[in-house]
Amino acid sequence: MEGAIEELDRRFEIPGIAQVVEGKGGLPKVRITSPEAVGEMYMHGAHVTSWTPAGGEEVLFLSSQTRWEHGHAIRGGIPICFPWFGGKADDPKAPAHGLVRTKAWQLEAIAQVGGAVTVSMFTESDESTKRWWPAEFRLVHRATFGRELSLKLEVTNTGKTSLRFEEALHTYHRVGNIEKVRVGGLDGVHYLDKTDRNQEKTQQGEIVIVSETDRVYLNTRNAIELEDPVLRRRTRVMKENSATTVVWNPCVHKARSLSDLGDDDWMQMICLETSNVSDFVVELAPGQQHTMKGIVRVADS
Ligand code: TA6
């Protein structure tokens, strides 16, 4: 792998700003040290694992027990769920959250944009994906590391038949103490409660985590705000072309059932997921492209 990483670095490096280096488990990653931010993105799943805006603290949570191995999803950062979310409706043997978070993506470009850096990685349908899903597709993940973190997931239907898919940027936010945070912006929005037989309910006010929380907020294009009094920051998540927002915290018992999550890690994380899932699957005609965008911005509170 070493030679291949050096070759990638030779082709894509921006001296002093972005390098391709060997990451954990020997997996290649792009390391960004720009005037506006530092960050990391693994080619394994085109997975952003770190973003720290200049003058700030790390925004993303990364599990201390993550398995850095081919075939395993990284626990933390921003996994990409595609072309289904959760279990595959018609095939319980299929991998959870789809096919691309455990795939080796390819590096398309690294570009400096003012004080920020955009890293673009892509993956396409192949034998490994067609084993589970016959469609032809090309996926590009463009992550811009700057004062804000901007993520674009571009799906192109490269086949001859219509595509139907779910997608999510399954972002793990690092928090000071989960029991103290508040999530605003979803008041009055209907959601499916996955901890209660997918019952449909209505959000009343802000979200407070007091027990296992696993909800799909439906038909919402709202920006949301994560208020964290312990880390004294407010994180705003904005989005485009996304009709659902997933909110997840496993709490103590579910956390213990996840071998790649430290027993108390649940206290330092919350997932806020820009997505199109459940009844809001995306339909794409042959040759068409769809781009979902998520933007994360942090302010002191
Ligand atoms: O996004 C919430 C969720 O779908 C939960 O149901 C939970 O399973 C979580 O994702 C993590 O899934 P994973 O397959 O990464 O263990």
Q: How far apart are CA 48 and CA 171, in angstroms?
A: 9
pTM of the predicted protein model: 0.98
* Residue 3 confidence (pLDDT): 87
Nearest CA-CA partner of 223 in 295, 145, 154: 295
Atom in ligand 1 nearest the alpha carbon of residue 273: 1
Active site residue 273: yes
Kindly state the percentage of the chain with pLDDT values over 90.
98
Q: For the chain, which residues score pLDDT lower than 50?
A: none
* Residue 1 confidence (pLDDT): 61
Active site residue 170: yes
* Residue 108 confidence (pLDDT): 98
Alpha carbon of 5 to ligand 1 centroid (Å): 31
Q: Is the CB of 72 under 6 A from ligand 1?
A: no
Q: Find the largest Cα–Cα distance for the chain.
A: 55
Q: How far apart are CA 42 and CA 87, in angstroms?
A: 24
Q: How far apart are CA 54 and CA 37, in angstroms?
A: 5
Q: Is the CB of 248 under 6 A from ligand 1?
A: yes
Q: Is the CB of 142 under 6 A from ligand 1?
A: no
Q: Is the CB of 166 under 6 A from ligand 1?
A: no
Nearest CA-CA partner of 73 in 36, 93, 53, 99: 99
Tens-place pLDDT, residues 18-75: 999 999 999 999 999 999 999 999 999 999 999 999 999 999 999 999 999 999 999 9
User: Hunting for tokens 């470009």 — which residue is that?
Assistant: 109
Alpha carbon of 287 to ligand 1 centroid (Å): 31
Alpha carbon of 172 to ligand 1 centroid (Å): 11
Contacts of 196 (CB under 8 A, 6+ apart): none
Question: Which of 88, 170, 256, 272 should be mutated for ligand 1, with most atoms under 8 A from CB?
Answer: 170
CA angle 179, 272, 106 (to 5 degrees): 135
Active-site residue, selected from the candidate residues 44, 97, 170, 173: 170
Atom in ligand 1 nearest the alpha carbon of residue 73: 15
